């Protein structure tokens, strides 16, 4: 398969090294012979049609699905968190939705509550701290999920379609937070069908099709350079 990869072969800043990784569910090859490096501080966007392997790659990087073959090395271990397209809300307050994760990590409950409030301030939800998490709007729930992740102080944040189904205002709020987190040095790895969002947030783009990495390039080259035919068709909207 053609690949326009520009990734380094070795570096002290490499966080993930995947070598010929395949993930198979029954007869379905969700990832096929995936070889790539992901470095510290990157803003990596995963694009491709539904079923291309984007979510599987994110889940594999986060340790949620095993490889059928191949391997991943973590030369520089880093704390990471993951946001899903539809974040799960606990049946408790907005503040406790953040605090419980910190408490489970060993923090005293009073301190966890204080840190949770600081995280909610960070995403503009402090005023809603006493409300039940499940009563928030979709955009507010996604911001709450970002607060839960940010409170853990991860070096890597993985996001699966973080603004899907959100209204334009909520999308802008979530994108703004993602950009701020990346500016602080956090590594972002996110999937998206929104190519405008990819242009705004990504520094590097990977295009997947049927589990294969067909293109891997800096964002400027991906949108303005020469691509394999399937990736070029995807950009033209000919592949859904």
- Assess if residue 123 is contained within a domain: no
Which pLDDT belongs to residue 24?
94
pLDDT at 7 over 90: no
Confidence of residue 5 (pLDDT cuts 50, 70, 90): very low
Q: Determine the structural domain holding residue 37 and report its residue range.
A: 14-89+136-235
Instruction: State which H helix or E strand residue 187 sits in.
Output: strand 187-191
pLDDT tens for each residue of 170-227: 899 889 999 999 999 999 999 999 999 999 999 999 999 999 999 999 999 999 877 8
- Assess if residue 94 is contained within a domain: no
The pair of structure tokens assigned to 224 is: 């303005």
pLDDT at 84 over 70: yes
pLDDT at 27 over 70: yes
Which pLDDT belongs to residue 235?
83
Instruction: Report how far residue 120's alpha carbon sits from residue 101's, in angstroms, rounded to the nearest whole number.
Output: 14
- Assess if residue 158 is contained within a domain: yes
- Assess if residue 156 is contained within a domain: yes
Closest CA to 189 of 67, 58, 15: 58
State mean pLDDT over 57-86: 93
- Assess if residue 170 is contained within a domain: yes
Asked if residue 205 lies in contact with residue 196, where contact means CB atoms within 8 angstroms, the answer is no
For residue 42, give the CATH number of its domain.
3.40.50.300
Instruction: Report how far residue 75's alpha carbon sits from residue 142's, in angstroms, rounded to the nearest whole number.
Output: 31
Task: Give ∠ CA 82-85-88 in degrees, rounded to 5.
Answer: 75
- Assess if residue 127 is contained within a domain: no
DSSP-derived letter for residue 93 is B
* pLDDT, mean over the chain: 90
Q: Kindly list the strands in the beta sheet with 28-39, ordered across the sheet, starting from the edge strand earlier in the chain.
A: 28-39, 14-25, 69-73
Percent residues over pLDDT 70 in the chain: 94
- Assess if residue 172 is contained within a domain: yes
Cα distances (Å, whole numbers) of residue 83 to 30, 105, 113: 20, 18, 21
Q: Please report, in angstroms and rounded to a whole number, the separation of the first and last CA atoms in the chain.
A: 20
pLDDT tens for each residue of 125-183: 999 999 999 999 999 999 999 999 999 999 999 999 999 878 888 899 889 999 999 99
The model's pTM: 0.88
Domain tally, the chain: 1
Instruction: Report how far residue 217's alpha carbon sits from residue 205's, in angstroms, rounded to the nearest whole number.
Output: 6
> Coil, helix or strand for 6?
coil
pLDDT tens for each residue of 92-113: 999 999 999 999 999 999 999 9
- Assess if residue 121 is contained within a domain: no
């Amino acid at each position: 398969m053609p690949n326009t990869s520009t990734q380094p072969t070795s570096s002290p800043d490499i966080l993930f090294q995947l070598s010929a990784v395949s993930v198979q569910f029954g007869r379905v090859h969700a990832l096929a012979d995936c070889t790539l490096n992901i470095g510290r501080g990157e803003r990596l966007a995963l694009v491709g049609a539904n079923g291309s392997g984007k979510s599987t790659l994110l889940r594999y990087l986060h340790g949620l699905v095993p490889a059928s073959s191949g391997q991943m090395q973590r030369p520089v271990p880093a704390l990471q968190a993951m946001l899903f397209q539809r974040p799960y809300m606990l049946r408790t307050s907005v503040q406790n939705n953040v605090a419980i994760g910190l408490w489970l990590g060993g923090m005293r409950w009073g301190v966890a509550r204080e840190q949770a409030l600081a995280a909610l301030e960070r995403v503009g939800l402090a005023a809603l701290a006493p409300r039940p998490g499940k009563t928030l709007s979709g955009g507010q729930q996604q911001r709450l999920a970002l607060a839960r992740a940010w409170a853990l102080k991860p070096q890597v944040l993985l996001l699966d379609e973080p603004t899907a189904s959100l209204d334009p205002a909520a999308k802008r709020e979530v994108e703004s937070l993602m950009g701020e987190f990346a500016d602080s040095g956090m590594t972002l790895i996110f999937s998206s069908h929104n190519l405008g969002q990819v242009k705004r947030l990504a520094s590097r783009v990977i295009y997947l099709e049927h589990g294969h990495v067909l293109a891997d390039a800096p964002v400027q080259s991906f949108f303005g350079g020469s691509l394999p035919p399937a990736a070029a068709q995807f950009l033209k909207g000919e592949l859904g």
